[in-house]
Amino acid sequence: MARTWTICAALTMVCLIGAGRGDEKLSIQSVPPVVVKTVPEAGSADVDPAITEIKVTFSKDMADQSWSWSTAARDSAPPSTGKPHYLDDKRTCVMPVKLKPGKTYGYWINSNNFHGFQDTNNQPAVPYLLVFQTKP
């Protein structure tokens, strides 16, 4: 359900962004990248606290060394155990973390104020809210 809603929201944003630019043909290259998958999945309430990485996959190749993992609320980000990095697919960013049981975590992947996640043409990704809860 959460994934379906996310895809619908992303497509709506793409349509709105494309509709506002009458000078450009809609194409994968012309629209901003969107989050297509997260691990753990957004909205999950039974995440194993033993996982050591949060992964966010985008619709396009992304610029390396550029990201914006912003806390969604006070104390909502788990402690990081290393630097974020992209996998060889150039679309999946990995944040090494230490999770605790029975806690709700949240990140904005880009936001209104921070635009670090960008494709290889320096186009910022559409902001995405990732919230999940670990098992007690």
Q: What is the CATH number of the domain that holds 23?
A: 2.60.40.1220
In the chain, what percentage of residues exceed pLDDT 70?
Answer: 83
Q: Is-contact 87 53, C-beta < 8 A?
A: no
pTM of the shown model: 0.82
Q: How far apart are CA 21 and CA 9, in angstroms?
A: 19
Domain containing residue 20: 2-133
pLDDT tens string 62-102: 999 999 999 999 999 999 999 999 999 999 999 999 999 99
**How far is CA 50 from its chain centroid?**
21
Total domain count for the chain?
Answer: 1
